[in-house]
Structure 1
């Protein structure tokens, strides 16, 4: 989505019921905070003086957060829809261009077919034989619905579609083709296809085989309507709420997935810059995405063509909600959420704002800890603050989760869709290879020369010239070679270019047996994907077809082999669908998990991809997506199994299942205990001893509330490198309004306990702790609360009286003993930190004893 375009929130809110509910709840809580603040000012102005700035900050935070949260939810939902329809729009135009690129090569090759050229030149007159030859071509390349041969005056000499007879043509494409050396591309109404409103024709002039004189024109008519219907069908979903279109340069519809909705010929609004603005067509408001061709092998397709998808705004945000997080463990969800800054900045901003509110409430509880009697009114207000803070946190948490679900759900859909595109690209590309080998096996010169008892130098030179010409047109092959009935390679294109000659070498016996056993010209053989000396020892597919004696069609006299440039072509497919994403990898694998192509240098072709075995058994054409931990990173994985294209791999007997797998990474796996972070204390009473509670290493700890001063955001730490303990991470300003500036050293409490540094996350906090006249900051994972506990709930640890002191001397048994809260010994902590001779060693040598106590409890 174009970030420079202002997002018109009010245009989308009426169609986002969940966001509207969230906005209403935020507004109600905002009013509640205002009422609490007003109550404090009226009922206990003096007692509340210390917390009024905190309450004002809370109210201001709510004013800001209310708008930010709603804006972020709307923006993410709109971006999700635009990304989804954008991917489909780009695929529509890109797959059309890839398909039509093959047509430019086809017409260039067929226009030089010797038999066809001799017929157009008038050297032969067997119309039936020529029509049979053109239909044989059509049977291989099923994307054409008509092929015509015309003379220089536009008279039709032969055509294969007898249901739409054409005697001649005055279309300007004929004159243009006659004077153009290469192909001519035409899309419009034409008298060559009178039964169609528009036709896509690739034409090229034909030359006399001996004199080189221009004698006529070949026209290949692409079955445009059928092909576009197939593309649209492959992108359909169970509940289509959008329409897919192909547009010309004037933004006019030339193909529509649903013509009853938007018909061919309509002019529609376009959105090439990814703007979030709504566009009106036919009295309805739409979100729209439009893409021009990226090009393929330098070919850009017909000028101006564009892919577009339009979705009405009133249905854009309906449908089944994502439940991506429900399949994750709570700890994994929390760890993935910790990477929000990298994969969803709005989500990170909301999390930071929610942490601020939580810190405000915690500070208010700390400031009034231990106050009774005359301050009962203030205590009542604080209870309201705590209750409202809890409701606020619950709302923020749910809103964050909803946004998180939207983001992750979008990524899951995207990953599966990309994997679907990848296998579709592969099948479409390899379909053309199966066509090529079968047609080129019918080349008259190849059949005649191989039928000779002995091949002379002239014959092999002629075959080599033909193969070189073909290979220049069809650049996806590293070489094309021909072998005789004994499997001896007699000619090859590009032979000896940068490597040793293969002419004179033998085809392997198994492949030769498969080719000689082919029943007819519609059959072909593909080698298994494996290393081949014909491809410099790298693995690839080689496509084979039998060459038969022209006088005895059933007799195999040799074969043709096409060495597919799999390394380059497969890599280009994978990279094109990743669209430049750095934190992503894509693979083609077989049913055993062996890699066919890879964008990950650590996983080369031929190695195994670690993947759920269940995915390797998915039915053809089906896909799946899920969140996984891959290479120590959180990743969204999409996987789809190939299902073939047209008759290829569907009805032609060829079986070779390929899976496309896509990983999009969101950051390293982090061990964060989400359950303890959400732990509620259900038996905290009143009138007991108050403790400030927080989290370190995923566990809950506490300090006596009288030592806790306040919590500050981790972003306020200033790094200072002057030696000292390795646990000291910097200093923090304690500046308060009306006071002179003071600083305190900040120590990583987790590092002090276990001996390794703690990561500084968005939720990390610095607790200012006072002991006598000294103050320090303690870096902790997150804040919890300031509950009260009865004396009976506070017990000494088994080794509390041991010599030398300990960091943990008491444990609070909360929730009936199900939750053990370790109490930090502040005296011991300050003694260690203030002793310059104290070793930099973990301060929890009694961890085993604490653990045993947990078990005993």
Structure 2
């Protein structure tokens, strides 16, 4: 990966230009640089005194790790910010395209409406009058009352004359627009045009137009079509609310809609990005950075993903955030309690996961080096006896930290003090690394929970917008004069023809049907389902539709089987229905029912709302926990939700909650969002069992087993020595318990080395290891004492008995080398198994800690049988 140098450290090319906007980097760079400066001072003191251990490699390793850490932090911040902007801009354009797809179907349906065609015929015959135009204008108003997304409906003659308009005050008497006349081209189903138009008095709008044929013209040949139907979609009204919702929580962000030439058609903040401004794309090649009007932005552009084969007018959505705000919010320092004791390593890339491991490895190597230095300073003291020394007057034990020099002189005391300071500085460096990683992980976890909530809100928003269309469709089609006359006359053939034409325009349905006042099916849209004709429908929704007295009302079934959906007709589904008015007077002549093709359509909606996280799942559920739809094949409609959600029955409309739950051995972050309706659809309605909610699940990882006592991992803190007799102790950790050996019995801590297997050895003997020309047996204290091997990362200590025999012991982790009072040692009351004849003592530390002091001679007796069989051969 190509790197460039910034602030004395190497950074990836894509983040280098953005570093000045990332305050979190300085939060960690400054203490790391300061600690490395202190490290250099300590190294100089060590060289001057001759007491320093080798620190050059450790310093170089920490310096390299600093560069990796800060580069990873920068790239992670950029990735999080880009994902947020990219995801929201994609949502904006995809929701718009879904919406506009419905408009293409609406204009096609309404262009075949009988009264429109009758007025066109009358105009062609010269018999049209104002009363007929007024009646059509009222008909337009009835349609728009059910579809509030339109602000103008106009019928034009072929020469552009206005024949009828919803709002005549805004529409010019003659509309001459070459863009709209393209709808007359053979085979052209519709045209969409955006910009200033005489239909709206010169104002800009998004217009959908389709050719309309007179009653006696061939419906299949539009070459001689005498008219044009135009629908004006409330683009600004529809999108600004969506844009505001998507920008919420992203500081100072702005979302824009651009045309194919890159000019801004709509903006959530005209003070930042004005209408009509030419706005270029930004991408990975520019580091996602965009300069507009002298201000730097982080920017992401999204093209439509398409819906039912429709990709919209070729527009794109772009979300921008001022660079000074894009990285201003640092991740929280406190861990999210919703993800405690969860293995979240799968959420982070390999490099990020490797940094804390590398910091710990460097610290282990430093600890080993310092340990050897302390051992050397103590065991070389002229006043030190093989095991116990008398407290001297020149360099007595340091009562404040228990790490004094025992009987050593002032030179040894200075060496130990220096080594302690080196160790403390190394620990501080490691802690900075671990704190930075923890903070970054906490921020990433918080983003996962926030993202699950956002995606759940997005999913239910898409569902609400879609079902809004379904509720409107059934009422629109109930106004169709052809269906009304067919039902009134009992003409099944005519009704079938109308339903088939409508169904060809609206592909999201499984079946359309009309029924008479007894609930008997008169006609269906799909010839393959003609067996439903003559059947008497059952269900509350049937009587509900026939009981409606207002053309603005509709009914919807519960999500349950009704015999109209699925291969066997018994799959659960939603049916929307409305009464069909009698064309000759008051009352109804029957009803229209539309069976929503919910299984694939809902699945598509849910998948469109899924976060970009492997294994993420989205479900649509009722308040009772019944699955209506799922993005995952593990759950089918009618199943129960995979877990109990206590918030589900009582969650208020338009509210969402986040949390965690366990599913199939993994912890999942979840977002649950309850429907609040859309526009006139189910807005401000009381809670109902049929309310729908979206549930988004994002896998975090398996639940970790929580240890019973984490205190054992805290460094053993010895009490100040008491009495004249003192003992230097080399401490270490084994199976989370503190153990130790007399320091004079420990020669050195070794770097990680390959251990040669020894098949005849007892279980606790791992094999043989070469040291100073001899092969030494390796005793695993974890296996010996607790039947828990210390593992491949074990620290290796070379020990020597009083008689000079040598061996290696494997321990979990190195501790301190400290001085203790011999009088503080207490014989251990229990010595099971191998320790029955051993010299085992206990040493109490500060607080509840206790250290078990072993003896090298006892350990040697366990391996001496193997050692005696091993030839003392020099190493190759």
Taking structure 2 as the reference length, the TM-score comes to 0.82
SS at match of 2:642: coil
Distance 1:447 1:724 in 2: 95
Residue equivalent to 1:41: 47
Q: What per-residue deviation string (whole Å, max 9, x for no partner) do you get for residues 93-121 of structure 1?
A: 11111111111111121112222222223
Secondary structure of 1:431 counterpart:
helix
**1:80, CA displacement in angstroms?**
1.8
Q: Does 2:313 align with 1:299? A: no
Counterpart residue number, 1:848: none
Summarize the Cα distance change of 1:593–1:718 in structure 2 as closer, same or farther, 3 Å threshold.
farther
The residue that corresponds to 1:852 in the other structure is: none
2:326 to 307, 316, 329: 316
Q: Which moved more, 1:96-105 or 1:231-240?
A: 231-240
1:325 to 324, 335, 349: 335
* Aligned-partner Cα distance in 2 for 1:138–1:484: 26
| Separation (CA, whole Å) in 2 of partners of 1:99 and 1:352 | 50
Q: How far has the Cα of 1:823 moved from its partner?
A: 6.7
Q: Which residue in 1 is equivalent to 2:739?
A: 702
**Cα deviations by residue, 1:150-206 (Å, 9 ceiling, x for unpaired):** 111111111102330321122112331111423333333343334454321111111
Residue 495 of structure 2 is matched in structure 1 by 463
Residues 609 and 218 (structure 1), Cα distance of their counterparts in 2 relative to 1, 3 Å cut = same
Q: Is the 8 A contact 2:335 2:442 kept in 1?
A: yes
How far apart, in 1, do the equivalents of 2:446 and 2:784 lie?
36
- What's the Cα RMSD here? 3.8
Residue 282 (structure 1) aligns with: 293
Task: For 1:657 and 1:747, locate their aligned partners in 2 and report how far apart those are by CA, in whole Å.
Answer: 62
In 2: Cα distance, 1:557 partner to 1:640 partner: 40
More deviation in 13-22 or 284-293? 13-22
Residues 14, 146 of structure 1: alpha-carbon distance in 2 compared, 3 angstrom cutoff:
same
Q: Deviations over 1:483-507 (max 9, x none)?
A: 211112222222535xx82222222
- The answer on whether the counterparts of 2:61 and 2:362 sit within 8 Å (CA) in structure 1 is yes
Tell me, in whole angstroms, the C-alpha distance in 2 between the residues paired with 1:480 and 1:18.
Answer: 58
Q: Specify the alignment match of 1:765 in structure 2.
A: 793
Moved more, 192-201 or 350-359: 192-201
Q: Within 5 A, what are the aligned runs for 1:718-729?
A: none
Between 381-390 and 430-439, the greater mean CA deviation after superposition: 381-390
Gap change, CA 1:721 and 1:267, over 3 Å in 2 = farther
Do residues 242 (structure 1) and 277 (structure 2) align?
no
Q: Tell me if the contact between 1:694 and 1:785 (Cα under 8 Å) persists in the aligned partners.
A: no
- The structural deviation recorded for 1:641 is 1.9
Please give the per-residue CA displacement for 1:372-421, whole angstroms capped at 9, x wherever unaligned.
23533321221111221232233223222221222222222222211111
Alignment of 1:130-141 (within 5 A): 130-141=136-147
Mapped contact 2:154–2:199 kept (Cα < 8 A): no
Rounded Cα–Cα distance in structure 2 between residues aligned with 1:491 and 1:571? 29
- Give the aligned partner of residue 679 of structure 1: 714
Alignment match, 2:442? 405
1:257 aligned residue: 268
Q: Which moved more, 1:73-82 or 1:150-159?
A: 73-82
User: d(CA) in 2 for partners of 1:36 and 1:88?
Assistant: 51
Aligned partner of 1:645 among 653, 678, 683:
678
> 1:283 Cα deviation (Å)?
0.9
Superposed, 1:118-137 pairs within 5 Å as 118-122=118-122, 125=128, 126-137=132-143
Please point out which of 565, 585, 601 is paired with 1:535.
Answer: 565
Native 8 Å contact 2:12 2:71 kept in 1: no
The change in CA–CA distance for 1:754 and 1:3 in structure 2 (over 3 A counts) is: farther
In 2, distance between residues paired with 1:92 and 1:535? 32
Q: CA deviation at 1:589?
A: 1.9
Do the aligned partners of 1:588 and 1:660 also contact (CA within 8 Å) in 2?
A: yes
**Number of the residue aligned with 1:478:** 510
Match of 2:114 in 1: 114
Q: Is the 8 A contact 1:365 1:785 kept in 2?
A: no
SS at match of 1:410: helix
Which residue is 1:147 aligned to? 153
2:465 matched to which residue of 1? 428
1:226 aligns with 2:232: no
* Counterparts of residues 279-678 of structure 1 (less than 5 Å): 279-303=290-314, 305-319=315-329, 321-322=331-332, 325-328=335-338, 332-333=340-341, 335-336=342-343, 339-340=344-345, 342-370=347-375, 371-372=377-378, 373=408, 375-452=412-489, 455=490, 459-496=491-528, 501-536=531-566, 537-553=570-586, 555-578=587-610, 581-605=613-637, 606-614=639-647, 616-650=649-683, 656-673=690-707, 675-676=710-711
Distance in structure 1 (CA, Å) of the matches to 2:448 and 2:89: 17
* Stretches of structure 1 lacking an aligned partner (at least 5 in a row): 837-857
Does the 8 Å contact 1:485/1:556 carry over to 2? yes
Q: Normalization by structure 1: what TM-score?
A: 0.84
Q: 2:83 aligned with 1:83, yes or no? A: yes
Alignment of 1:20-59 (within 5 A): 20-44=26-50, 48=52, 51-52=53-54, 55-59=55-59
- Determine whether 1:211 maps to 2:217: yes
Change (3 A) 1:309 1:191: closer
In 2 relative to 1, CA 740–423 (structure 1 residues): closer, same or farther, beyond 3 Å? farther
Q: Supply the distance in 2 between the matched residues of 1:505 and 1:719 (Cα, whole angstroms).
A: 83
Q: 2: CA distance between counterparts of 1:814 and 1:691?
A: 14
- Judging changes above 3 Å, is the alpha-carbon distance between structure 1 residues 103 and 743 closer, same or farther for their aligned structure 2 residues? farther
Q: Is the 8 A contact 2:290 2:296 kept in 1?
A: yes
Change (3 A) 1:628 1:610: closer
Q: Distance in 1 between matches of 2:432 and 2:825?
A: 33
Q: Deviations over 1:309-345 (max 9, x none)?
A: 111111222347536614258xx35x43xx4365244
Instruction: Give the match's secondary structure for 1:535.
Output: coil
Give the superposition deviation at 1:766. 2.4
Task: Confirm or deny: 8 A CA contact 1:808 1:822 kept in the other structure.
Answer: no
Any residues of structure 2 matched to 1:778-793 within 5 Å, and which?
778=810, 780=812, 786=817, 790=821
Residue-by-residue CA offset, 1:752-805 (whole Å, 9 max, x unaligned): 9467x99x8xxx83222446677668584x666555555566555543155786
What secondary structure sits across from 2:320 in the alignment? strand
Q: Which moved more, 1:369-378 or 1:94-103?
A: 369-378
1:425-482 CA-partner distances (Å, limit 9, x unpaired): 1101111000111111122122222224xx3xxx212212222222222111111122
CA distance in 1, matches of 2:3, 2:580: 59
Residue 565 of structure 1: how far off its partner (Å): 1.4
- C-alpha distance in 2 between matches for 1:812 and 1:415: 52
| Counterpart mapping for 1:773-812 below 5 A | 778=810, 780=812, 786=817, 790=821, 798-801=829-832
> How many residues are matched?
801
Structure 2: segments with no counterpart, 5+ residues: 5-10, 219-223, 379-407, 867-876
Quote how far apart the aligned CAs of 1:20 are: 1.1
Which deviates the most, 462-471 or 562-571? 462-471
Whole-Å separation in 2 of the counterparts to 1:721 and 1:572? 61
SS of the equivalent of 2:595 reads strand
For the pair shown, the structure with the greater C-alpha radius of gyration is 2
Task: From the superposition, tell whether residues 205 and 765 of structure 1 become closer, same or farther in structure 2 (CA, over 3 Å).
Answer: same
Q: Does the Cα contact within 8 Å between 1:7 and 1:277 map onto a contact in 2?
A: no
Distance 1:701 1:560, change over 3 A: farther
Deviation at 1:718, TM superposition (A): 9.9
How many angstroms does 1:610 deviate by? 1.7
Report the CA distance between 1:30 and its aligned residue: 0.5
